[in-house]
């Protein structure tokens, strides 16, 4: 046996076929030698990739200064590896190289964009040939800073739309996500039907700018709304329009549309050339999100923006394409010398993939294989979405026949049956075959056939066919033979066949099967349901039968030699199946007519149908519908659902019932919206309050399910009590809950008559009942006087003042802050009801000078402040606790003594001591005060705690504790424990 190396040079076959150089070893078998493979040759094989390089983006600021591209191939003998950058081999040994090889992996140390960006591929080779990997690109990722240039102020009239440009900085890769900040970080702008951030360009779109009291700043763009009265209405104007888009099969994709306008436009989506695919509407209509896109989802999509002043629409096309995918590809194979072989690769994809080969041709057909055709082959399918690889090894060999690894075997056959005795020697080229039984040479007859692959077939086997059979194989390299035997057994017969059964859901079903067989053989019973295998014994018990258990049951009695079958049917009666095709065929403002098709009755007639509905307000809860007629009979396929809300989107489903139960519900119907209807009278409203010279009118906004039509809004009418002329104002926002009328000539607390009604596209509803509402009062005009106060302790003070004489006072605000240390902006505040004229101030700092200010307030605002009152808090109490000297028992009392506490220079002087005597575990007890440094306390059964602290004008000092328990006392002062013996 000889081996030699050949090198295939790179040859251009055509624009669609490329042969790339690689190295392979071809093993030539000497003519006349039999196929006896060595252990290495039997187990050896060419490279098979297990890991290949993938596209990599390296962040330019990455703390890990290296890139690793993986390559690993299974091969015997093990593969060696080379790497290419942009089809040029990388010299790993070059001086100053940044490259190193770890196993088959390529490591790039300290990557440099200008040197190392590009397309990498790995070449794995051994004695059987070489394979080139898929390409993995290396790119460098970055995100530059925003430009530091000032952004110009955007000025827009109130009610108009605004667009704030993002102008993102240079970056790679292309995908970015965008958010906008309002005024300062981290106040991110919430996105709703009025505000939208495009994820394609980062721009912020505001459909209608509301009036605000100060400038609004994005990251760098001041937005200045220009107040305008009355606020003008603007028609819907689409500013964000999705372009013609290409998606890949299986992707999720989002289409964007957003409109400016006042009132805020609503956005609706539709597919012009077919039904909408599986989708979700997001961002208050601005995003159409398509899930798991398929080819049929391609087509023309339209977004439509509508408000009461007009509408705008945009259409664009969605094209669906696909990554290449193999339909048929090459696999490793061994073929005989001089045989024919066709190597084929077929791929699907959109656009249609281009097929390339890495050895000599697009479709490789070999009319007479030679040893030179051995080697590693690759085909590559590619379109602009991606590339896929198929790799295979072809081995061409020749040898004389040999039965060493696959001799003719001993075979059992059932009487009157059929038997095939295989003859599968290893041989190349393909040998000719002949057979003998004992000493008789066999030839083809009506019962005996020699197949082209060498197998011997015998029909209608009898006992006379038993004996020794020899297969002879011969080719131009030599010949060989192998002998086996045939033993004939009794055939298997069914003696007890299963019987048909009829049960209800939940009952048990029983089937039996028995057979007669050759006593020398084992028998197995296999049950199957409609071709699916199940139990493997002669009896079959189906417990708690369900509808899915119905069908044709087959019992197979099987021995190692033959098998025989018998079948029976099981009928399971149960609740009906789900109806199908539920759809709305007619609708009004408060009713719809449904149509459906009958589902399976499951062998029990349908007695009635139940219809259920849900809408966006029922939170996905299905509710039973009111129908006409009230009872929907089992032979019906239509019904009218009534008592629905107008202008509301519904889904419906139908459930069938028979005497055996209620079945599964149908799939929901397509969503349908009932017709619009005129809204009725608002039920609750009121108002009053607000700032000076304002009339505030409030009401409870109508829930969306009660809009009953598009262009929903409110009409507010009001007039002074002594006026005959009503003023009408239209509030177009359906979610509005107030209207504020501002007029400088309105006197405080003027009485108004007010009424509210709703409208939609059908017209105006009736007014509510008239209510009496007062305009806002004026803020207090007087400042509190005679403000006095004093410090109570180191942390508390009390302050009092003369009540204001005005009748419109809701309360007082007391503000206090440290005179030197604090600013007035950081002051503490206390709110006091209008009926009170004093309060306690807490949380103050010891030994500090405070300024105190008081002002009256009501719903219109705060009045002028009082003159400042200055109060100085007391020095703090001692920070050190008393030191308990000891305890003495005096009859039925205990004497406790302690050392005098010496206050620090900045602490208040001692006025006396407080002693709390309490049972352990209780927070309350008896409090004693004394100017002495000892006290006698009554002795009780149980565990008690004594707390001693100094008392000063600044408050109580730190606490010393002692525990009195039985015959010993435990001192807890200063975290030390001292045990005193009973005296």
The residues spanned by each domain of the chain are: 45-142, 147-232, 329-397, 399-489, 493-573, 580-671, 684-769, 785-872, 883-964
737 forms beta bridges with: none
Fold of 399-489: Immunoglobulin-like (2.60.40)
- Kindly give, in sequence order, each residue whose CB lies less than 8 Å from that of residue 878, ignoring residues fewer than 6 positions away: 901, 903, 904, 907, 908, 910, 950, 952, 957, 958
CATH node for 147-232: 2.60.40.10
At the fourth CATH level, the homologous superfamily of domain 329-397 is: Immunoglobulins (2.60.40.10)
- Kindly give, in sequence order, each residue whose CB lies less than 8 Å from that of residue 226, ignoring residues fewer than 6 positions away: 155, 156, 157, 158
DSSP-based three-state secondary structure for 582: strand
pLDDT of residue 591: 94
Which CATH class, in words, describes the domain spanning 493-573? mainly beta
* Neighbour count for residue 267 (Cβ, 10 Å): 27
pLDDT of residue 535: 61
DSSP-based three-state secondary structure for 43: helix
Mean pLDDT for back-to-back runs of 10 residues, the chain (983 residues): 26 26 29 39 78 87 84 92 92 88 92 90 90 90 72 67 72 71 61 66 55 37 56 81 90 88 88 88 86 91 89 91 90 84 89 81 69 86 89 87 93 93 91 93 93 94 94 93 94 94 93 93 90 74 92 93 94 93 92 93 94 86 92 93 90 95 93 81 71 86 82 91 89 88 86 90 85 87 92 93 87 91 84 92 92 90 91 92 88 88 90 91 88 88 90 91 67 37 28
User: CA dist 737 to 144, 209, 653, 678, 875, Å?
Assistant: 46, 18, 36, 20, 54
Give the Cα separation of 623 and 650 in Å (integer).
Answer: 11
At the fourth CATH level, the homologous superfamily of domain 684-769 is: Immunoglobulins (2.60.40.10)
Pick from 535, 494, 501: which is nearest to 516 by CA?
494
Give the Cα separation of 609 and 576 in Å (integer).
Answer: 10
Give the Cα separation of 582 and 668 in Å (integer).
Answer: 7
Torsion sign, CA atoms 730, 733, 736, 741: negative
CATH node for 580-671: 2.60.40.10
Using CA atoms of 664, 670, 671, 672 in order, give the dihedral in degrees to the nearest 10. -120
In this structure, whether the domain defined by 45-142 belongs to CATH 2.40.50.140 is answered with no
The reply to whether domains 45-142 and 580-671 share a CATH topology is yes
Fold of 785-872: Immunoglobulin-like (2.60.40)
Residue bearing tokens 């990498």: 120
CATH node for 883-964: 2.60.40.10
Give the Cα separation of 603 and 493 in Å (integer).
Answer: 35
């Amino acid at each position: 046996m000889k081996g030699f190396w050949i090198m295939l040079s790179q040859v251009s076959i055509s624009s669609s076929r490329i042969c790339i150089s690689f190295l392979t070893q071809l093993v030539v078998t000497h003519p006349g030698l039999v196929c006896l493979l060595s252990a290495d040759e039997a187990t050896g094989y060419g490279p098979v990739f297990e890991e290949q390089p993938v596209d990599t983006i390296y962040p330019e600021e990455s703390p890990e200064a290296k890139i690793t591209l993986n390559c690993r191939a299974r091969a015997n003998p093990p593969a060696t590896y080379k790497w290419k950058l942009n089809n040029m081999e990388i010299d790993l040994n070059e001086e100053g190289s940044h490259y190193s090889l770890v196993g088959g992996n390529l490591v790039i140390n300290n990557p440099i964009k200008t040197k190392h960006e590009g397309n990498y591929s790995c070449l794995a080779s051994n004695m059987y040939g070489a394979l080139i990997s898929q390409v993995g690109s290396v790119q460098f990722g970055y995100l530059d800073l925003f430009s530091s240039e000032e952004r110009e102020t955007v000025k827009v009239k109130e009610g108009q739309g605004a667009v704030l440009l993002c102008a993102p900085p240079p970056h790679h890769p292309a995908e970015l996500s965008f958010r906008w900040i309002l005024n300062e970080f981290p106040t991110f702008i919430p996105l709703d039907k009025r505000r939208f951030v495009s994820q394609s360009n980062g721009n912020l779109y505001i459909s209608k700018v509301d009036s605000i009291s100060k400038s609004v700043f994005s990251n760098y763009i001041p937005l200045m709304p220009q107040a305008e009265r009355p606020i003008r209405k603007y028609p819907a104007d689409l500013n964000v329009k999705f372009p013609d888009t290409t998606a890949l099969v299986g992707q999720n994709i989002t289409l964007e549309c957003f409109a400016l306008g006042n009132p805020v436009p609503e956005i609706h989506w539709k597919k012009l050339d077919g039904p909408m695919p599986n989708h979700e509407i997001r961002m208050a209509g601005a995003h159409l999100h398509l899930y798991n896109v398929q080819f049929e989802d391609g087509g023309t999509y339209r977004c439509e923006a509508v408000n009461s002043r007009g509408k705008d629409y945009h259409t664009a096309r969605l094209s669906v394409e696909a990554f290449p995918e193999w339909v048929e590809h090459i696999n490793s194979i061994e073929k005989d010398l001089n045989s024919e072989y066709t190597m084929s690769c077929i791929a699907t994809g959109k656009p249609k993939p281009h097929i390339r080969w890495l050895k000599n041709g697009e479709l490789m057909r070999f009319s007479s294989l030679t040893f030179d055709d051995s080697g590693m082959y690759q085909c590559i399918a590619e379109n602009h979405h991606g590339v896929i690889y198929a790799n295979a090894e072809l081995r061409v060999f020749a040898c004389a026949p040999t039965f060493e690894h696959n001799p003719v075997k001993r075979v059992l056959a059932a009487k009157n049956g059929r038997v095939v005795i295989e003859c599968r020697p290893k041989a190349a080229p393909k040998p000719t075959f002949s057979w003998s039984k004992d000493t008789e040479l066999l030839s083809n007859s009506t019962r005996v056939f020699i197949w082209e692959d060498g197998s011997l077939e015998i029909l209608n086997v009898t006992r006379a066919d038993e004996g020794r059979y020899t297969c002879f194989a011969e080719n131009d390299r030599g010949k060989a033979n192998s002998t086996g035997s045939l033993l004939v057994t009794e055939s298997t017969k069914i003696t007890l066949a299963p019987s048909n059964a009829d049960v209800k859901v939940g009952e048990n079903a029983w089937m039996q099967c028995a057979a007669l067989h050759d006593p020398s053989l084992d028998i197995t019973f296999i049950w199957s349901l409609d071709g699916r295998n199940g139990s493997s014994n002669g009896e079959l018990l189906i417990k708690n039968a369900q509808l899915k258990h119905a069908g044709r049951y087959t019992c197979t009695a099987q021995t190692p030699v033959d098998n025989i079958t018998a079948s029976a049917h099981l009928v399971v009666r149960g609740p009906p199946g789900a109806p199908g095709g539920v759809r709305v065929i007619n609708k009004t403002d408060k009713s719809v007519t449904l149509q459906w098709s009958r589902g399976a009755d499951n062998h029990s007639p349908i007695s009635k149908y139940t219809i259920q509905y849900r809408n966006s307000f029922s939170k996905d809860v299905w509710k039973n519908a009111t129908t006409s007629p009230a009872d929907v009979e089992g032979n019906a396929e239509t019904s009218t659902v009534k008592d629905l809300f107008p202008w509301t989107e519904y889904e419906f489903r139908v459930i069938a019932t028979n005497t055996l139960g209620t079945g599964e519900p149908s799939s929901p119907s397509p969503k349908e919206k009932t017709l619009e209807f005129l809204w009725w009278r608002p039920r609750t409203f009121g108002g009053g309050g607000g700032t000076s010279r304002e009339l505030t009118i409030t009401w409870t906004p109508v829930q969306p399910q009660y809009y009953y039509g598009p262009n929903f809004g409110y009409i507010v009418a009001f007039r002074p009590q002594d006026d005959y002329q009503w003023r009408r104002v239209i509030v177009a926002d359906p979610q509005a809950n107030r209207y504020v009328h501002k007029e400088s000539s309105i006197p405080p607390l003027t009485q108004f008559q007010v009424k509210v009604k709703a409208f939609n596209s059908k017209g105006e509803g009736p007014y509510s009942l008239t209510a009496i509402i007062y305009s806002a009062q004026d803020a207090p005009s007087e400042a509190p006087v005679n403000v006095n106060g004093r410090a109570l302790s180191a942390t508390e003070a009390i302050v009092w003042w003369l009540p204001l004489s005005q009748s419109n006072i809701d309360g007082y605000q007391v503000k206090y802050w440290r005179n030197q240390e604090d600013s007035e902006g950081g002051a503490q505040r206390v709110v006091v009801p209008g009926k009170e004229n004093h309060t306690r101030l807490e949380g103050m700092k010891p030994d500090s000078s405070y300024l105190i200010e008081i002002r009256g307030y009501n719903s219109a605002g705060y009045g002028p402040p009082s003159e400042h009152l200055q109060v100085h808090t007391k020095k703090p109490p001692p920070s050190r606790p008393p030191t308990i000297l000891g305890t003495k028992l005096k009859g039925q009392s205990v004497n406790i003594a302690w050392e005098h506490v010496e206050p620090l220079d900045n602490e208040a002087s001692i006025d006396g001591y407080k002693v709390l005597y309490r049972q352990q575990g209780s927070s309350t007890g008896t409090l004693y005060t004394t100017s002495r440094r000892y006290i006698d306390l009554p002795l009780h059964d149980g565990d008690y705690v004594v707390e001693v602290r100094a008392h000063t004008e600044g408050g109580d000092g730190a606490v010393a504790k002692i525990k009195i328990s039985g015959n010993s006392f435990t001192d807890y002062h200063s975290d030390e424990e001292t045990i005193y013996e009973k005296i």
